[in-house]
Structure 1
Amino acid sequence: MLHLVDNKLSFSSIAIAGIGGAGCNMVQRHRHGVLYRVQMQVQHLAVNTDRSAIVRIQGMPAILLNADASGVEAVMPWLAQCKALYLLAGLGGYAGSTATPALARRARDAGLHTVAVMGMPCDWEGRRRRTTALRALESVREHAAETFVVHGDAVAERLGEGASIGEFIKGINSWLLRELDARMAL
């Protein structure tokens, strides 16, 4: 069952959708930083299959998809006046790997310029997550006008062996958000 947590529609020319746990965290972080830097209207959205994660979202529309990540059409009314959609997601997790390709396809079909900025799991996270992420990435590349990928192993290598998991997450999120801002030419 689909639920819109925030029922107010606001329209802008650019939307940024954070998908899944990693994407929702990044879009919240981006929203707080971008408010003071941007002259144009930017609509931030959080999209997830996890009800408890969606309930914690504040200050932006939060859209809960079905458990199987179907129902991305519920996002489309939020994009009605948009010309561009930027997708932020970590691939390999459930919502990021299923909803990101579906939303990229829907956005392309709606005529939106779609850019995906995504994180890939580290090798140590396992073959299943890596395979899931690679399948999702292939599908997103078919539908998005531009894709940018940050590989978890590259972030881990930059940080060094002594980095904590918290430092790793902060590092990959920061890298993805810098790439998002560069693509938006902020």
Structure 2
Amino acid sequence: MKDYTRRGIIRGAAAVGALGAATPVCAAISTRQPMVVIGVGDCGGNMLNAVVRAGLAGVDLVAVNTDADALARSLAAQKLLIGAELTRGLGAGANPRVGQQAALESAVALRDLVAQRAVVVLVAGMGGGTGTGASPVIAGLAKGAGAYTVGMVTAPFDLEGRRRRCQALEGVHALWDTADAVVVRHNEELIRWPRPVPTAMSHLFGLVDAEVVKLVTELRDLLEG
């Protein structure tokens, strides 16, 4: 699992710089809407909440989920339930295939969401159902609409099991195939980071949230020039 983690961080590290070099995208910024950050699934929704709390101006924030209850708890002003007929709002059951089909069912609404965007940032957790399955579909729609598309995702802890890790690997590879840049943060690194005193996991997850806010802020500042 370390291979895709390293590869993702290397590829994602240049996300902001790559946007600066993407002249066709930058040339279209004046005619496109502000960047949008889309939190996909439960984990993505949690990361999106951190961006909401940061109070960044000039960025639209949208929560996307197959779970209606989780969506109702989101702090985002704009929310989109996908795959309502397929999942009945009960979630994807940790099945990426269901997450993918849910996104395809709601492709029209998702396409409208990313239309005329200069930049689309997707935040999600890899390994479950909605984030893993739907994120590559949304990235493909965004890229097809002409947006510079960035994915910032987390990979599961080793203790979460082989199946979840394998699903995460497949999800990351699918996202690589559709996004312009991908940043991967392996959750296992959180418990291995050197720290002077025992630290609550909530604080460690907060460090990942801070990375998301930093990336979004840098992309926004670059767009505003």
Question: Following TM superposition, where does structure 1 have runs of at least 4 consecutive aligned residues deviating by more than 6 angstroms?
Answer: none
Which residue of structure 1 lines up, in the alignment, with residue 35 of structure 2?
Answer: 14
Q: Are the aligned partners of 2:38 and 2:63 in contact in 1 as well (CA < 8 Å)?
A: yes
Q: Describe the SS at the equivalent of 1:117.
A: strand
TM-score by length of structure 2 reads 0.69
TM-aligned CA deviation for residue 101 of structure 1: 0.9
TM-aligned CA deviation for residue 55 of structure 1: 1.5
Summarize the Cα distance change of 1:72–1:120 in structure 2 as closer, same or farther, 3 Å threshold.
Answer: farther
TM-score by length of structure 1 reads 0.82
Deviations along 1:76-118, one digit per CA (max 9) or x if unpaired, are: 2122231110011111121110111111111111211101111
Cα RMSD over matched residues? 2.1
Q: Which stretches in structure 1 are left out of the alignment for 5+ residues?
A: 1-10
Structure 1 residue 33 corresponds to structure 2 residue 54:
yes
Q: Are the aligned partners of 1:114 and 1:146 in contact in 2 as well (CA < 8 Å)?
A: yes
If you compute each CA radius of gyration, which structure gives the higher value, 1 or 2? 2
Which residue of structure 2 lines up, in the alignment, with residue 168 of structure 1?
Answer: 204
TM-aligned CA deviation for residue 42 of structure 1: 1.5
Percent sequence identity over aligned pairs: 27
Select the residue among 158, 164, 182 that pairs with 2:193.
Answer: 158
The structure showing larger relative contact order (alpha-carbon pairs under 8 Å, at least 6 residues apart) is 2
Which residue of structure 1 lines up, in the alignment, with residue 180 of structure 2?
Answer: 145
Q: What code does the residue aligned with 1:129 have?
A: R
Higher helix residue share: 2
Structure 1 residue 75 corresponds to structure 2 residue 110:
yes
Q: Are the aligned partners of 2:61 and 2:76 in contact in 1 as well (CA < 8 Å)?
A: no
Which residue of structure 2 lines up, in the alignment, with residue 90 of structure 1?
Answer: 125
Higher strand residue share: 1
TM-aligned CA deviation for residue 15 of structure 1: 0.6
Higher alpha-carbon deviation: 54-63 or 116-125? 54-63
Q: Which stretches in structure 2 are left out of the alignment for 5+ residues?
A: 1-31, 88-97
Q: What code does the residue aligned with 1:150 have?
A: R
Q: Are the aligned partners of 2:123 and 2:151 in contact in 1 as well (CA < 8 Å)?
A: yes
Q: Give the number of aligned pairs.
A: 172
Q: 1: distance between equivalents of 2:111 and 2:146?
A: 12
TM-aligned CA deviation for residue 47 of structure 1: 0.5
